[in-house]
């Protein structure tokens, strides 16, 4: 390292010997960015006038246009072309406006083999050239040449260009912090990202949302982000290792490099809840991409089963019941119903259901007959691969084809309805609820209550087994529009849930999680069974370096989880405070006394409890004490700065400057897991409180 991090380039200072040309280049780029923005604004104004003129011409002349010829079509296409051109210019304008604040954050001086002088490459959030088609002054962090900045120290280096591998030598590397178009510091280092840079970045108060990490991507993180070879990439990462950030940056990279085949609408992220989705929603737009679709898997299951049951519990209902009414037998039954063994029982039940669900009878329709023997032959031998509850529909279509061929005319809608009822009557029932209940009873489990549809509420342990049974009985086509699936918190998905996902998606996947943060009393390593579901070509990457917490907080969390071998960034801070109180009022007073929010304090803080009831009670009491706070429950959809009161399971994936964790009572089966999750949410200060 040749310079200290406090090297600053002040506003009135000329270029320093430490960074020859850096400040002058910044001033030059800022001038050219403003000129490009001025040109874009002029182009947008002209485009808007052109659109207005086109629309006026169209409405004045459309009655005289030949709608079956080319003039009307040509006018519509010209208008669409101009609208799209304006949209492209508007997207460029937004990107350049963001770059005005901080045009670049890194530089690599690279000497190509056979050349005598090094060429500087400045790295930023996006490409920027003085004019379209010219050599960039700043390169997008995802461009091939930018890999030099992330992957190499000084010395021999190479990058993969469209023309092939480019060899050379890195002569120097620089990191910059630019704010409001002004240089804060210029920093040369022998290595890619110096720990001092990381400590300063991570030592800042927490943003209201997840940070993008383009300025501090580590070499091992970069390898994940730029991985295009592996269809299924599984990231097992410690709390605070940047798993979610890396997954989102990987999506941004893939979108940048495969625009012909991959669009934002082709990517789906399974997120735990709406607050977490809001917390990460800005990352892709910051990186120059449109936002991607987000979905809660529990909500998806409810929508898929709404024709079967009136309501379904979600995972949070299950967790609350586990904590309030600890029952080892209940937990054991839940785990069994999510297991590979239970999936095997369903498959066995399906095999015998081909007989038990069927009641074949001769079909007679307008002079045509289909005997019981013929029905059985068609059902078992012509359509054996069709799902059971869809198979009789296939037999019916076969019968209708024969009828229409013999009669020489199409069947009417009324007759089709009559036939549908006849063929449906071959099943003893088509009600998935009833069939699943029969299955439970067959294998010694308590059947579902026999109640009308509006009173059917499915416990969480039965939601995904029933959904899996439904798909096996009725079929479900793969979602071809989704070409990349991101699964976060992989340790919280069961074997049955992964089977459902395999049914729904046949695409590339980024699967990430931390088994130490499981929402169960025992850790689950999904990698023991994922290859059985998705195939053996799964690439596993373990990330053992934690960046989020101070050293003191990380060591404290390590003791709770028993996880060893983590590499911790030595960013030191306040020691963890553990305290027991005789009353809840005393604990709340301590929270108020230590809460440090505002201009001279932190941006974010959280009081994290075990249960929803505890969170809401504390939230109300804090408000009564004059402490401003936001309450986050499963129906919340936004993450805000200030003080948040929530449960440990809703805080997963989020981070706060200060955390006040309210420990669980003895006997809570999730006590240890919850305390670990609470501890790893804290960036700077952690208070572990309990009442006795």
pLDDT digits (tens, 9 = 90+) for 398-424: 999 999 998 888 999 999 999 999 999
For residue 67, what pLDDT band results from cuts at 50, 70 and 90? Answer: low
The CA-atom distances, in angstroms, between 476 and each of 351, 390, 468, 473 are: 19, 11, 10, 9
β-strands 164-179, 106-112 pairing = antiparallel
Tokens found for residue 153: 């120290």
Residue 235 near residue 511, CB atoms below 8 Å: yes
pLDDT, tens only, 521-574: 788 889 999 999 999 889 999 998 888 899 999 999 999 988 888 888 888 999
Contact assessment for residue 648 and residue 610, using Cβ atoms and an 8 Å cutoff:
yes
C-alpha 158/C-alpha 112 separation (Å) is 9
Lowest mean pLDDT among 182-186, 202-206, 409-413: 202-206
Q: Are 644 and 656 in contact (CB under 8 A)?
A: yes
Q: pLDDT at position 7, please? A: 39
Cα–Cα distance, 54 to 35 (Å, whole number): 29
pLDDT band (50, 70, 90) for residue 166: very high
Check pLDDT > 80 for residue 9: no
How far is the C-alpha of 359 from the C-alpha of 356, rounded, in Å?
Answer: 8
pLDDT exceeds 50 at position 65: yes
pLDDT at 431 over 90: yes
- How many angstroms separate the CA atoms of 683 and 659, rounded? 8
The predicted pLDDT at position 15 comes to 44
- Which secondary-structure segment (H or E) carries 479? none
Do residues 574 and 685 make contact, with C-beta atoms less than 8 angstroms apart?
A: yes
CB 65 within 8 Å of CB 75: yes
Mean pLDDT confidence for 156-181: 92
* Residue 10: predicted pLDDT: 36
- Structure confidence at residue 188 (pLDDT): 81
| Burial of 81 per CB tally in 10 Å (0-12, 13-18, 19+) | exposed
If one compares 215 and 413, the residue with the highest pLDDT of the two is 413
* Strands ordered across the beta sheet of 577-581: 577-581, 682-691, 656-662, 604-609, 642-647, 630-631
- The DSSP 8-state label assigned to residue 593 in this structure reads H
For the segment 198-207, the average pLDDT, to the nearest whole number, is 55
Average pLDDT on 81-103 reads 88
Per-residue pLDDT tens for 246-292?
999 999 999 999 989 999 999 999 988 888 888 888 888 888 788 88
Under the banding of pLDDT at 50, 70 and 90, the label for residue 8 is very low
Integer Cα distance of 313 and 21 in angstroms: 62
Residue 20 has pLDDT above 80, yes or no: no
Please write the tens of the pLDDT for every residue from 454-470.
Answer: 999 999 999 999 999 99
The CA distance from 533 to 535, in Å, is 6
* Range 650-667 average pLDDT: 94
- Give the C-alpha separation, 269 to 277, whole Å: 9
The beta strands (E) that lie in 345-483 are given as 363-365, 368-370, 457-458
pLDDT of residue 442: 96
Highest mean pLDDT among 12-16, 90-94, 643-647: 643-647
Mean of the per-residue pLDDT values for the chain? 89
Q: How far is CA 65 from CA 51, 59, 83, 186, in A?
A: 19, 10, 22, 63
**Residue 3 scores a pLDDT above 80:** no
11/336: higher pLDDT: 336
pLDDT at 200: 58
CB-count burial class (<10 Å; 0-12, 13-18, 19+) for 583? exposed
Question: Whole-model pTM above 0.85?
Answer: yes
Is residue 60's pLDDT more than 80?
A: no
Is residue 187 within 8 A of residue 176, CB to CB? The reply is yes
Place of tokens 């990186």: 287
Between strands 457-458 and 311-312, the pairing is: parallel
d(CA 169, CA 172): 9
Confidence of residue 488 (pLDDT cuts 50, 70, 90): very high
Query: What pLDDT is recorded for position 11?
Result: 36
**pLDDT band at residue 201, thresholds of 50, 70 and 90?**
low
Flag whether pLDDT at 17 surpasses 50. Answer: no
**Would you state the pLDDT for residue 16?**
43
Q: How confident is the model at residue 394 (pLDDT cuts 50, 70, 90)?
A: very high
- For residue 190, is pLDDT > 70? no
Q: What was the pLDDT predicted at 81?
A: 84
């Amino acid at each position: 390292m040749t310079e200290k991090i406090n090297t600053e380039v002040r506003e009135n200072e000329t270029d320093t010997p430490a960074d020859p040309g850096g400040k002058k280049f910044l001033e030059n780029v800022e001038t050219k960015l403003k000129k490009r923005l001025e040109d874009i604004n002029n182009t947008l104004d002209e485009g808007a006038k052109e659109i207005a003129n086109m629309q006026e011409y169209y409405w004045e002349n459309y009655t005289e246009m030949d709608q079956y010829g080319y003039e009307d079509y040509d006018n519509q296409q010209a208008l669409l072309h101009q609208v799209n051109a304006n949209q492209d210019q508007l997207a460029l304008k937004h990107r350049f406006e963001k770059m005005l604040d901080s045009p670049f954050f890194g530089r690599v001086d690279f000497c190509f083999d056979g050349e005598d002088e090094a060429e500087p490459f400045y790295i930023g959030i996006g490409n920027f050239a003085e004019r379209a088609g010219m050599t960039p002054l700043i390169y997008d962090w995802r461009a091939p040449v930018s890999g030099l900045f992330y992957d190499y120290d000084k010395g021999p280096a190479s990058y993969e260009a469209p023309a092939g591998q480019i060899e050379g030598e890195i002569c120097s590397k620089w990191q910059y912090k630019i704010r409001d178009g002004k240089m804060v510091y210029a920093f040369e280092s022998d290595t890619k990202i110096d720990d001092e840079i990381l400590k300063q970045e991570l030592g800042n108060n927490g943003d209201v949302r997840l940070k993008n990490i383009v300025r501090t991507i580590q070499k091992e993180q970069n390898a994940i982000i730029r991985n295009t070879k592996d269809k299924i990439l599984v990231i097992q990462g410690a709390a605070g290792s940047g798993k979610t950030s890396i997954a989102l940056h990987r999506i941004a990279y893939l979108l940048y490099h495969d625009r012909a085949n991959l669009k934002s609408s082709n990517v789906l992220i399974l997120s735990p809840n709406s607050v977490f989705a809001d917390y990460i929603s800005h990352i892709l737009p910051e990186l120059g991409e449109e936002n991607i679709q987000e979905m809660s898997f529990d909500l998806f299951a409810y929508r898929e089963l709404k024709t079967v049951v009136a309501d379904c519990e979600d995972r949070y209902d299950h967790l609350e019941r586990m904590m309030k009414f600890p029952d080892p037998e209940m937990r054991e039954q839940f785990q069994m119903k999510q297991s590979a063994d239970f999936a095997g029982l369903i498959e066995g039940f399906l095999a015998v259901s081909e007989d038990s669900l069927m009641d074949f009878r001769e079909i007679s329709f307008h002079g045509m007959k289909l005997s019981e023997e013929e029905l059985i032959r068609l059902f078992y031998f012509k359509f054996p691969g069709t799902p059971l509850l869809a198979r009789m529909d296939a037999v019916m279509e076969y019968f209708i084809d024969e009828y229409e061929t013999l009669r020489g005319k199409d069947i009417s809608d009324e007759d089709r309805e009559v036939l549908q009822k006849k063929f449906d009557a071959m099943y003893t029932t088509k009600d998935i609820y009833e069939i699943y209940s029969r299955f439970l009873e067959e294998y010694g489990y308590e059947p579902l209550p026999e109640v009308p549809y509006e009173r059917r509420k499915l416990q969480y342990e039965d939601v995904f087994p029933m959904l899996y049974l439904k798909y096996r009985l009725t079929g479900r086509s793969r979602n071809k529009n989704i070409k990349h699936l991101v699964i976060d918190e992989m340790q919280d998905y069961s074997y049955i849930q992964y089977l459902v996902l395999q049914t729904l998606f046949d695409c590339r996947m980024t699967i990430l999680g931390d088994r130490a943060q499981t929402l169960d009393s025992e850790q689950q390593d999904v990698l023991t069974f994922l290859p059985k579901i998705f195939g053996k070509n799964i690439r596993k990457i373990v990330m053992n370096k934690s960046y989020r917490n101070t050293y003191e907080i990380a060591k404290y969390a390590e003791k709770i989880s028993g996880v060893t071998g983590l590499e911790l960034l030595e960013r030191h801070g306040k020691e963890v405070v553990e305290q027991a109180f005789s009353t809840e009022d005393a604990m709340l007073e301590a929270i108020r006394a230590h809460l440090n929010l505002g201009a001279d304090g932190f941006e974010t803080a959280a009081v994290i409890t075990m249960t929803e009831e505890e969170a809401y009670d504390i939230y109300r009491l804090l408000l009564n004490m004059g402490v401003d706070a936001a309450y986050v429950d499963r129906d919340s959809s936004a993450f805000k700065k200030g003080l948040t009161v929530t449960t440990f399971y809703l805080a997963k994936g989020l981070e706060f400057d200060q955390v006040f964790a309210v420990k669980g009572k003895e006997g809570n089966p999730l006590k240890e897991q919850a305390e670990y999750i609470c501890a790893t949410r804290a960036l700077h200060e952690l208070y572990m409180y309990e009442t006795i």
